[in-house]
Amino acid sequence: MATTSIPTQKRVGMVSLGCPKALVDSERILTALRADGYAMSADYAGADVVLVNTCGFLDSAKEESLDAIGEAIAENGRVIVTGCMGDEADVIRARFPSVLAITGAHQYEDVVKAVHIAAPPSQGPFVDLTLGDVKLTPRHYSYLKISEGCNHTCSFCIIPTLRGKLASRRIDAVLREAEKLVAAGTRELLVISQDTSAYGVDTRHEERMWKGHPVRAHMTDLARELGQLRTPEGLQPWVRLHYVYPYPHVDAVIPLMAQGLLTPYLDIPFQHASPKVLKAMKRPANEAKVLERLANWRAICPDIAVRSSFVVGFPGETEDDFAYLLDWLEEAQLDRVGAFKFEPVAGAQANALPDHVPDEVKQDRYYRIMAATARISAAKLAAKVGRTIRVIIDEVGEPDEDGDVGATARSQADAPEIDGAVYLRNVPATLAAGDFVSVTVEDADAHDLFGVIAD
């Protein structure tokens, strides 16, 4: 009897750049391709075609994307480009005419079609379907994207041009995905979008049935339902909110944090504090009320950690504006802060504003804001020395020459990749990534904590 050999699977490589929202796009693309019979390649050499998911938010990000495309062409030669730079196909083709296809952000079907043309699948569909979705993050945490696009018209941003207006996912679809992720081993859900606070605005917060009761497409309803999830072992996963604009209804999620339904952490992109600069940015400008709300949030949930990002050197920013920002930060006492020097990006309204700040002044202000926020962070972390806190394990190391094993973890105040870490000594060899443990904090620096598992 003759045997039929199964053709070798075509292999796809992926280079994913930019924010977590783009990473989710990459996961969805690879999941669709695997369902069509493709295998994944960890290197250029083993790939029949390479996908480069680009970032186009800033000119520096575009250059990084172009460099990645160039590297993929040099190493493999068969390259498909997708993502936020897809809107600038002429720029990409001018530099790399051999690119096989170019698609825009979250155009999953177009990417899959391009792969089918470039490297037709050698096996039938559904070959690998039983393996589940492709994840580009560690097993124990996952990004949960709740919407695409943004309705804001911030003068420094071109996201609405790249990703369109706000388009919220159905609440039942989001909750179903979250439930599936947790059942598959996720211990921490990171809720992401361009504007998490605006979730459901475009659908007038439509209701859907979930577990026998109606639930609105609204940030507070979503947070409340996510707080009901449990792992197969009966543990409550952490649920962390990112990209939260400080609309009034954000106040309603703070009690959920105090009740333990939501991780006490908010990622709010304030961008600046000077009313004049905020107005030029076309951002909400009531910075004094923000300070009052921060105080109220801490009164309700003392352990809340607030992270934010700020732009220095925005056109028209004076030394007085920058000093105002530094004073505001002293009063706000934010837990985690990132800063960026203003960069013009093609298509942004801010490019046409007068009084652009010289590069050397931007650099000086960047150093000063980072020094100020590092000092604030160091003081806040030093206050945790001696406390016992709950952490999630990210990585367990190999035994050293004395047989001791260390581990890298994160507290509830630390999101992966962007915040600090908790470094542990002398952990049990049985400890694994995704475990929740209580630790005693022994030391701290400007960004990280150091400790040991509590007795």
219 and 320 in a single domain? The answer is: yes
Q: Is residue 311 part of a domain?
A: yes
pLDDT at position 79 is: 93
The pLDDT of residue 26 is 86
One-letter identity of residue 19: C
Do 244 and 324 lie in one domain? The reply is: yes
Averaged pLDDT in 10-residue chunks for the chain of 455 residues = 60 88 85 88 91 84 90 93 87 92 84 90 54 74 92 80 87 96 95 94 96 96 96 95 92 95 95 93 74 95 96 96 97 95 85 92 97 97 97 92 90 94 94 96 96 91
Note whether 346 and 416 are same-domain residues.
no
Contact 439, 453 (CB under 8 A): yes
Domain's final residue, options 123, 156, 188 = 123
Q: 3: which DSSP letter?
A: -
Are residues 304 and 319 both part of a single domain? Answer: yes
Here the CATH number for the domain that contains residue 46 is: 3.40.50.12160
pLDDT of residue 36: 86
* pTM over 0.85, yes/no: no
Q: What is the CATH number of the domain that holds 174?
A: 3.80.30.20
Domain boundary (348, 365, 382) is at: 382
Residues 233 and 250 in one domain: yes
Same domain, 238 and 321: yes
Q: Which of 319, 353, 382 is where one domain is finished?
A: 382
What is the domain count for the chain? 3
Q: Are residues 191 and 241 in contact, defined by beta-carbon separation less than 8 angstroms?
A: yes
Q: What is the DSSP string of 39-84?
A: EEESSSTT-SEEEEEE--SSHHHHHHHHHHHHHHHHHTS-EEEEEG
Residue 289: per-residue pLDDT = 87
* The predicted structure's pLDDT at residue 287: 62
Q: Is 130 among the domain residues?
A: no
- The CATH number of residue 419's host domain is 2.40.50.140
Q: Which domain holds residue 306?
A: 141-382
Answer yes or no: do 372 and 392 share one domain. no
